[in-house]
Structure 1
Amino acid sequence: MSAPAALMAAAEGGIIGDGRTGASLALLAGAFGVALAWLATRRAGRRISSVNPRTAGMAAMATGAAGTVLAVLHLATADGGPGTGNGLVGAVVAVPLGLGALVLGRRALTRSAARTTPPGG
């Protein structure tokens, strides 16, 4: 398939349709948020770290929230059911992934705050 034909097929929804694109973006945002939260949680317990756990935790929470909102919007506007090519299953998977990023990001923030609080204060 030539490049112009591939672009035309993509524009018509033959390769990746509009429905799958929204779900894929939500999945990507949720997965990125979980990865950031995991990294922040792992680094929060260490004394010397190359990643600021507070910054990574907040970024994970923001990315997870964005992925969850995208997935819920996609679920609300998707036509048809699972298996129709609208990305409905991807959006269903993206919701708990984004919520997991929110929870893990909050955990990283809590762990980093507990580590930086002086004893008795």
Structure 2
Amino acid sequence: MSVRPLTAATVTVALVLLAAAPASAATSTLADSYGLTTDRLVATSAAFLGLAAAIVGGWAAARAGSPHRSLIAIGTGAVAAVVGVIGFATADGGPGTGNGIVGAAIAIFLGVVAIALGALARARAHR
């Protein structure tokens, strides 16, 4: 199985998420904070990307024979963590304001977990 389609999909998702973040920075109001704002959508998407990366990283760590899964986990985990850091840094308020700060924090955590699991699987594959 080639890694190129998944890598291209990961880069595309990252570019879409990064392009949506600056456009939504000035549009948060109190009335929007109860719905799905653009900031929340970006942060939630990054959190789900981090969750998928952590699952792939755990799968790669459990089965030491596939170095491709570890690279996928490291790459997608890094994208989730970077988008989470950008969302966390650009949030105007705390939790409940519609700025996606909770989703960004979850994306950072899951991205770092995915990177760690991918690195663990990569180290085991080289032994």
TM-score normalised over the length of structure 2: 0.70
Q: CA RMSD in A?
A: 1.7
Q: Establish whether residue 21 from structure 1 lines up as the match of residue 46 from structure 2.
A: no
Ranges in structure 2 where 5+ consecutive residues have no aligned partner = 1-31
Q: How many residues align?
A: 96
The whole-number CA distance in structure 1 between the counterparts of 2:93 and 2:111 is: 23
Query: Are the equivalent residues in 1 in contact too, given 2:34–2:98 (CA < 8 A)?
Result: no
Ranges in structure 1 where 5+ consecutive residues have no aligned partner = 1-11, 45-51, 115-121
Q: Which amino acid aligns with 2:54?
A: V
In structure 2, the residue matched to 1:38 is: 58
* Pairing 1:1-121 to 2, within 5 Å after superposition: 15-44=35-64, 53-114=66-127
Q: Which amino acid aligns with 2:120?
A: R
Q: Which amino acid aligns with 2:78?
A: A
- Secondary structure of the residue aligned to 1:16 is coil
Structure 1 stretches of 4+ with a deviation exceeding 6 A read none
TM-score normalised over the length of structure 1: 0.73
Larger radius of gyration: 1
Deviation of the 1:14 alpha carbon = 7.2
